[in-house]
Amino acid sequence: MKAVSYNIIKILLQHPLHKNILLKYLNINILTLKNTIIEINQNLIKSNLPTIIEKDSVYSLIFNKKQRTFFYSSCNCYSQEQRCNYLLLKFLVQKKINLENERIILNVSRSTINRDFLIIKKKLDFYKITVISKQWIGLSYEINDISNFFEVLLETLMIFYSDFDYLPGILKHYLIEIQPKNLKQYLKNIFKTYEILNIQIGDITVKYLLTLKTCFHLFENFYLKTILNYIKTLKNKNYYNLIFKKLYFEYNFTAKLSVYIAVIIYDTTFKTFYLENTFSKIIDKYCNYFQLKLSKNERYLLMFAFHLSIYRYQNKIINVKNVYLEYSLNSKILKSLKHFFKISNIEIYYGDLLEIEDYTKYFLISNELKNKKSILILKKEINHGYFLNFKKKLENFFPKFIITFKPIIYFQFNLILNNQYDLILSDVMLDNNTKYKFYSSNMELIYLINEFLIEEHYSKISL
C-alpha cells in the first residue's frame, strides 16, 4: 500500500469528508484520488474489510474496533519519516542497531535503509551524538551531552504518541514493547490528580506525560539528570505543595513528578516549548497583517496553535477537522490566512489552518465588540416574555451594542430610517432596496451578527 493510500484511510477513519476537502488535505488531483480509492477498495476487499463509500461526493470509511486493529497491525506501508522515526527510536533505546536486520523487518532495499540512516545520522550530528561502528554488533553511539540525548529521545517518542492510534504494524508493536506495563493505572492517577487541581488536561499534555513516563521506564536516572533541573526554576509553590505533600503517600515519586511537570507545562507551556523566542516575530507579523491587538493570553494561545500546527506538519501528523464545503470555499478569513502563511514561508495542514481560522475569527469579532454598534431586529411576531429573555441574552453576547426589536409593521409603514442602524436583521423577506440580512432562527441571527462584525473589521484593513 502506497503512503497516499495509507493517508486516505487514516483521514477517513477520523471523519467522512467531501472530496474537495479531502483533496485539500492530500494535495493531489481528483483523478489521482479516484484511482487511489479504487486501488484501496480492492486491497480492503482482499482483507475482508469494509470499503470506502462515496455518497453525494462525500467519502466515508467505517471500521469497528476489531477491524481497525487488524488493519493497522497488518499494514506494512511506511513513509520515509515513519521508517526514520522507528529506526531512530530503536537505536536510541537499544544503543545499537543492525541495518541489515532492520532492512529485512521493514522489507526495504539496502539502498533505502542506508538513505534512511543518513537522515538519522544528520539529526544525531545536530544533537552532538556520535555514531560509531562496532564489530559483530553493528552501529552504536557516544553521547557528548546527556541533555541533548534526552531531548532527541523525548522528541522522537512524542511523535510516536502523537500519532499512536494510526501507527502501522511494526511501529506500534515496538512502542508497546518498550512502554511500561502499568500505563493505564498511571493515566488514571494523572486524571485523578488533575481533577483535584481543577485543571482541564489537554491532549498534548497527556501525550507529553506518556512520553515522560516511557523515558522514566527506559532510563531510571532520566528524571534525576534532566527533569529535576526544572524544579529549581519553578515558581508556583501551590502546585508544588499540593502534589508533593497532599498526594505524597498516594502516588509514587515518578508519577507525582511527571504530573507536576505537566501542570507546570500547562501554566508555562509556552516557555517550556520556547514559544516566546520562536514565534514572537511571526505573531507580530500576524497582528500587523490583520491589524489586531492581542492580549498576552491571546498571543500565547496563538503561539501554541502555530507551534502544534508546524510540529504536526513537520512530523506528518494529519489533524482532521471537517467543515461545510460551501463555507470552506468562500471563507474570507481562510483565504487571508492562506496568503499570510504563503508570504511567511510556513506550511501547515489544512485541518490546522481551519483551527487557526477559528482563533482568527474569535480575535476579529472580539476586536469589533469593543466598538458601539446599533442593531435593529425586525420580527413578524413578538412575544413579550420571550423577547425580554432573548434581548437580555443578546446584550450579554454584545454588551456595547444598542439592540432594538421592532415588529415588521414598523418597516412596512416606513416608520424606520435605514441610516439609523449599522445592521438590520429580519425574519421576513424585505424588498431589494433595503440593506438587511434575513435570518430564520436565533442561532442564525447571532451567526449573522458575528459575520457582520468580521466584515466591519475587513472594511478597515487592506487585504
On the question of pLDDT at 199 being above 70, the answer is no
Q: Which amino acid is at 412?
A: Q
Same domain, 313 and 330: yes
DSSP codes of every residue in 36-82 = HHHHHHHHHHHTT-PPPEEETTEEE----HHHHHHHHHH-----HHH
Question: Which position has the higher pLDDT, 412 or 247?
Answer: 412
Parallel/antiparallel/unpaired status of strands 373-379 and 401-407: parallel
| 138, 143, 367, 385 from 96: Cα distances, Å | 7, 13, 56, 75
Is residue 170 one of the residues assigned to a domain? Answer: no
Q: 112 pLDDT band (50/70/90 cuts)?
A: very high
The CA distance from 206 to 211, in Å, is 9
The last residue of one of the domains, among 41, 56, 74, is 74
Q: Are residues 268 and 325 in the same domain?
A: no
Residues of the chain with pLDDT > 70: what percent?
80
Mean pLDDT of the chain: 80
pLDDT tens sequence across 8-18: 988 898 888 88
Confidence of residue 434 (pLDDT cuts 50, 70, 90): low
Say whether pLDDT at 113 is over 90. Answer: yes
* Residue that has been written with the C-alpha cell 551531552 in this structure: 145
| CATH number of the domain where residue 102 is located | 1.10.10
The set of long-range contacts for 16-20, using a CB threshold of 8 Å and a minimum separation of 24, is 16/58, 16/59, 16/60, 16/61, 16/322, 17/58, 17/59, 17/320, 17/322, 18/57, 18/58, 18/59, 18/325, 19/54, 19/57, 19/58, 19/59, 20/57, 20/325, 20/328, 20/329
The grid coordinates listed for 427 are 425574519
Is the pLDDT score of 201 beyond 80?
Answer: no
Residues 62 and 120 in one domain: no
**pLDDT(304) > 90:** no
Residue 40: inside a domain: yes
223: Cα within 13 Å, side-chain hemisphere: 18
pLDDT tens figures, 61-85: 999 988 888 888 777 667 788 899 9
Q: Which helix (H) or strand (E) holds 339?
A: helix 332-343
What was the pLDDT predicted at 265? 47
The kind and range of the H/E element at 185 are helix 183-197
Which band of pLDDT confidence, cut at 50, 70 and 90, is reported for residue 33? very high
Q: Which domain range does residue 58 map to?
A: 3-74
Q: Tell me, yes or no, whether 251 and 213 share the same domain.
A: yes
For residues 293 and 197, which has the higher predicted lDDT (pLDDT)? Answer: 293
The count of other CB atoms within 10 Å of the CB of residue 13 is 19
Asked whether residue 381 falls in the same domain as residue 359, the answer is: no
Q: Is the pTM of this model over 0.75?
A: no
- 313-329 pLDDT, tens digit each: 877 777 776 655 445 44
Residue 168: inside a domain, yes or no? no
Average pLDDT over residues 287-315: 85
Tally of domains in the chain: 5
Q: Would you say residue 259 has pLDDT above 80?
A: no
